[in-house]
Amino acid sequence: MERISVFQLFTMTVFLQIGTTVIFGFASSAGRDAWLAILISTVIGLIMIVLYTFLMEMNSGLTLIEWFPAQLGRWLGVPLAWLYPLMILYTSGRVFSDLKALVPATLLPGTPSWFVVAAMLLVIIYCLFSGIEILARFTEYLLPVLFFLFIIEIILLFSSGVVDFKHVQPVLGQGWGKVWSAVWPTGITQTFAETLVLAIIWPSVKKREKVRKTTIIATLLSGLTISAFSLMEILVLGEGIVDHSMYPLYVLVRQISIADFLENLDAMVALNMIITAYIKVTIYLFAAIRAIQVLLNMLDNRPIIFPVAAITYLLGMTMSTNINEHIYVGVTIFPLYVWVPLLIILPIVLLIVTLIRRKWLKQHNK
């Protein structure tokens, strides 16, 4: 069985949580208080992650897919377990749909969207055949590069003299209503509750007793990073521009201009976007393949890779006709009707059932 280190789990968690979230202005519906909504979402997300890790400890050595049959029996547990690879495939398709709209609109204008997605998918397939250890090492090397770029971008923005702290005032000027609407359900489910997908990989970690601590630290780093960029978008662009920008991070970095020499750094932010999207969808597809392998009792997952890749490609290319429809579904419909049941309700129900069964077995064995 392939194994990954604790630090590799940390880097994979950060990449999964940041993903494409930072690109589209996470929690922008909260206006100038979006950064605060992200911090609140992070705290609630940490509570969910503690719940997930409790389930991992009570189902020692089992993946997310195996928790349900173990606690609910095969007749109920297996159909519920199948919902997770299906959800992962659809979410992977959404990331491809993000790239389908993002890359031609920013980095490579005029490039056919099918070519962008196909090129990315070919690289992902190569990584999937290489295995989880190679993917984990890749994230280990890429994470410092990603944060180096983030830090450089923030330093250059402050050096450009475009930061105005008046844009963020007054804090909570419109009350808690807008903030909470950004927190629930999208803020909690997108990014933080998605971490449940990694429960398919947790049994592969060498020191499983450190999974909870590692995931909590990674979540804090991700939440603070996303919140920092959201705050920078408000400080530089103002609430009105952020609300009406499709890619506020891209617009933000375009404001960098130092001595009429250092400017038009579009390639830097595009590199951020592609790196995070690539790693996130690769982790998702690996989790989907591992889940299907467990459910079908297959010894080798390689025969699944091409069918899964083909399904994800078709989903990414056909799930929406335009970017506005894509974002509407991703913010309004998908979190409430898919993520909330699968990432919040079912894990809570499973935790309750597990605790009841453990108590009953303990009393029965006395």
For residues 243 and 76, which has the higher predicted lDDT (pLDDT)? 76
In terms of Cα–Cα distance, which of 170, 157, 171, 165 is closest to 36? 171
pTM for the model: 0.91
Contact assessment for residue 253 and residue 153, using Cβ atoms and an 8 Å cutoff: yes
Q: Cα(217)–Cα(132) distance, rounded to whole angstroms? A: 21
Q: What is the mean pLDDT of residues 151-176?
A: 80
Q: What is the mean pLDDT of residues 220-228?
A: 91
Q: Cα(101)–Cα(87) distance, rounded to whole angstroms? A: 21
pLDDT in tens, 353-362: 988 888 777 7
Contact assessment for residue 24 and residue 201, using Cβ atoms and an 8 Å cutoff: no
Report DSSP letters for 101-151, one per residue.
Answer: HHHHHHTSTT--HHHHHHHHHHHHHHHHHH-HHHHHHHHHHHHHHHHHHHH
Contact assessment for residue 41 and residue 34, using Cβ atoms and an 8 Å cutoff: no
Residues paired with residue 24 on neighbouring β-strands, in sequence order: none
pLDDT in tens, 100-143: 877 777 777 777 888 888 988 999 999 899 888 888 998 998 88
Where do we find the tokens 């521009």?
Answer: 241
Provide the residue ranges of all domains of the chain, joining segments of one domain with +: 6-352
Specify the 3-state DSSP secondary structure of 4. Answer: strand
Second-level CATH architecture of 6-352: Up-down Bundle (1.20)
pLDDT recorded at residue 33: 84
Report DSSP letters for 220-288, one per residue.
Answer: HHHHHHHHHHHHHHHHHH-HHHHHH-SSHHHHHHTT-EETTTEE--HHHHHHHHHHHHHHHHHHHHHHH
Cα 70 versus chain centre, distance: 27
pLDDT in tens, 247-289: 777 777 777 766 565 666 667 777 777 888 889 899 999 999 9
